[in-house]
Amino acid sequence: MAIYSILSFIVLFETPYELFSIGCQKELANDVAGAIEYYKMALALDSTASEIYYALANAHYKIQKIDKGIEYARMGLQVAPDNLDLHSILGVGYIGKGDLKSAIETYKRALNYHPDNLDLYQTISILYEGLGDLKMAKEILMEIAEDKRTSEVYNRLGTICGKMNDHQGAINYYHRAFALDTTNYTALVGIGTGFDILGIKDSSIYYYEKAIQYDTSLSISKRLVDLYMDTDQFQKLIDIARKILTANYYEIAVRRSLGFALYKMGLLNEALVEFTIAAGLNPQDTYSKFYAARIFLEQGRYEESKRVLSEALKVNPDFVELWVYLGFIAMDKRDFKLARYAFTEAAHRNADMVQIYYLLGIVAELEQEFTQAYFYYKKSLSLDPRSLLSLNALANLCDRIGRKDEALRIFEKIIEIDTTDAIALNYVGYTYAERAESLGYALKLIEKALEIEPNNGYFIDSRGWVFYQLERYEEALSDLKRANELVEDPVILEHLGDVYLKLNEVTKAKEIYRQVLKLQPKNRTVLEKLKRLEENRE
C-alpha cells in the first residue's frame, strides 16, 4: 500500500522541478521535515540537479543535522564539482561543526574553480583569523591581484595589520581603501585609529573629523572629545561635546570634559553649570564636585567651595586633591589649624609628600613660624632636591630671615635646573652686584632675566646697579631713571640718587634722597647721606 501511494504521487507530479517547488514552499512554511521529503523525491528523479543537493544540505542544517547536510553537499559536489553554492554550503556545515580547517580547505577548492571570486578570499581570511593565524589571514588576501583589490579588501588588510600591531601597515592599507572610495567610513576610522595608537594625535584627529561627516554614531565623536582634551583644543571640544549632549543628555563623561574645557577657557560660570549637572546626574561623581569646588574657590565663594568639598569627601575620602583644596580654602581664610589638618589627611592618603611638606611650609610661614617653615621646605627637598616650588620657597624664606648666603646658593641651584627662571637670575645677579663681585657674570644673568621680562622695573634697577658698580654711570642713570618710571620703590630711588651723586649732580641727588624719606622716613642710610651732603655744602 505504501509503495502504491508513493508511485501514485510520483505519477501525479511527473517532474522533479514540481517536487522541488513543493519542498521549497514547505520550507518557507517552516515545515522543514516535510520539505526534506519532497527534496529527496525530487532527487530520486534527478540526481544531477545541484540545487536539490544544496536545498537538502541547507534544510538539514536547519534541523541541526549538520553531518547529514555535509553529506548531501559532498554528494552534490561529486555531480557538480565547480558549483560555488555547493562549496559554500559545505563550508557553512564545517563552520557549524567548529571545523574551521575543513571549511578553509573547502573554500580553497572553490577558489580553484572561481579564482576571481573576492568573497571566497575574504571568507578564507576570516576563517584563518578565527583560528588565530593572522599571518595566513593576510597572505590569502595578498594573493588577490592588485588590480582586483577593492576598498573592502584593503579595509580587511588594514584590520588584520592592526590586530598584528603593525599600525603603520594598517594605516597604509586603509589609505589605499580611502583612495578607492573617499567616503569610506571604515577606512577613515582605521587611519584615525592607527595614528591614535601610534600617538600621532593631530593626524588621528584629522581623520576622525573626516569620519564623523559620514557617520552619526557617537563613538568617534566621544574619542575626539578625549583627543581635544589631550591637545588642549578646548573650543573644538566645547563644540563637539555640545553636539553629543544634544543627542544624549546623559553622557556624563562628555559633560565633565565640557566643564573642564569651559573652565580652561575661563568661562567659569558655564563650567560650573556643567559640573553641577554632572554631579546631579551622578551623586558619586566626585570629579565634577572637585572642579565645582575649585571654581567656587577661584570666585572667592569659600563657604560654597567648602560645602561641595565636604560632600565629595563623604563619597570618597581617599580623593587626595579634595583634602588639598580644602587646605587651600583654609589658608585663604587664614584658618591655619584646618589647613594643617587637611594637608595631614592628604598625607595619610598617600598624597605627594613633596607637595604636602611644601604646603605645610607655606602654612608655617604664614603663621610667622619661620623655623618650622624652614624645616618643612627642607623635608620636601630631601624627597625631591629638584622641586622648584620648594627651592623657590626656601630661597625666599632664607632671604627673608637674613640667611642671604644660603638664599644665594639656592637661587643658583634653581638657575641650574631652570635657566629661564627670571626671578632667580635677577636675584643672583643683583646679589653679586651688591657685593661688587663677579660683575660680568652678574650682568649676563640680569640681561637674561630682562630678555624674559623686558619691562620689569626691578630687573632694570639690578642692571643699573651693576653698571654703577662697573663705574658706567651714564648707562646706570639711563636704567635707573627708567626703573623709577616703572616702579615706585625706595631702593630704586636710593640707587638713582647715588648715581646722580657720582655724576656730581648733587642737587638732583638730594632731591631723590628726600623722595626716599617720604616713603621711608626712618631710612638711616639715606638720612646719613643727606646729612653729609648738607655738611659739605656748609
CA distance 123 to 279: 49
Phi, psi of 133 (to 5 degrees): -100, 80
Task: List pLDDT tens digits, range 110-133.
Answer: 999 999 999 999 999 999 999 999
Residue 3, pLDDT score: 44
How far, in Å, CA of 487 to CA of 376, rounded? 34
With pLDDT > 90 as the criterion, what percentage of the chain qualifies? Answer: 94
Cell numbers standing for residue 495: 640707587
Nearest-10 Cα torsion for 209, 211, 213, 218: -90
Tell me the mean pLDDT in the region 356-363.
97
pLDDT at 2: 47
For 310, what's the count of Cα atoms within 13 Å in the CB-facing half-sphere? 9
Q: CA 207, 178, 161: angle at the middle one, nearest 5?
A: 85
Share of the chain above pLDDT 70, in %: 97
Where does residue 165 fall: left (phi above 0), alpha (psi -120 to 50 degrees), or beta otherwise? left
Q: Distance between CA 117 and CA 111 in Å, rounded?
A: 7
Kindly compute the dihedral angle of the four CA atoms of residues 63, 66, 71, 76, in this order, to the nearest 10 degrees.
70
DSSP secondary-structure letter at 272? H
d(CA 193, CA 207): 9
Output the pLDDT for position 538. Answer: 53
Question: pLDDT band at residue 214, thresholds of 50, 70 and 90?
Answer: confident
232-272: pLDDT as tens digits: 999 999 999 999 999 999 999 999 999 999 999 999 999 99
Beta strands in 125-177 (DSSP E): none
Residue type, 508: K
Map residue 299 onto helix, strand or coil.
coil
Query: What pLDDT is stored for residue 535 in this prediction?
Result: 79
- Asked if 101 and 136 count as a contact pair (C-beta separation under 8 A), the reply is no
Q: Which residues lie below 8 Å from residue 478, measured CB to CB, with a gap of 6+?
A: 464
| pLDDT tier at 4, thresholds 50, 70, 90 | very low
pLDDT of residue 8: 45
Q: Grid coordinates representing 50? A: 545541484
Looking at residue 5, its pLDDT comes to 47
Summarize the confidence of residues 446-454 as an average pLDDT. 97
What is the spatial distance between Cα 474 and Cα 87, in angstroms, rounded to a whole number? 100
CA distance 235 to 229: 10
pLDDT at 418: 96
pLDDT of residue 302: 94
**What does 168-216 look like in DSSP terms, one character per residue?**
HHHHHHHHHHHHH-TT-HHHHHHHHHHHHHHT-HHHHHHHHHHHTTS--
> What is d(CA 144, CA 129) in angstroms, rounded to the nearest whole number?
17
Contact yes or no for 446/463 (Cβ under 8 A): yes
- pLDDT value, residue 14: 64
More confident site: 9 or 528:
528
Provide the Cα torsion 442, 443, 448, 453; round to 10°: 100
What's the helix, strand, coil split of the chain in %, to 5?
Answer: 80, 0, 20
Of 13-27, 99-113, 177-191, 376-390, minimum mean pLDDT range: 13-27
Q: How many CB atoms lie within 10 A of CB 125?
A: 28
The Cα 76–Cα 59 span in angstroms is 14
Mean pLDDT of 96-110: 95
More confident residue, 10 or 460: 460
What does the alpha-carbon distance between residue 313 and residue 316 come to, in Å, rounded to a whole number?
Answer: 5
Is 56 in contact with 39 (CB distance < 8 Å)?
A: yes
**Which tens digit of pLDDT belongs to each residue from 385-433?**
999 999 999 999 999 999 999 999 999 999 999 999 999 999 999 999 9
Please say whether the beta carbons of 425 and 415 come within 8 A: yes
Cα separation, 443 vs 479, in Å, equals 13
pTM: 0.72
pLDDT at 216 over 80: no
Q: Give per-residue burial for 499-512: e unless 16+ CB within 10 Å, then b.
A: bbbeeeeeebbbeb
| pLDDT given at position 534 | 82
- Burial environment of residue 415 by CB neighbours within 10 A (0 to 12, 13 to 18, 19 or more): middle
- pLDDT, tens digit, 9 for 90 and up, residues 155-198: 999 999 999 999 999 999 999 999 999 989 999 999 999 999 99
Mean pLDDT of 51-55: 95
How high is the pLDDT of residue 366?
95
Interatomic CA distance for residues 43 and 90, integer angstroms:
18
Residue 329 · residue 323 · CB < 8 Å: no
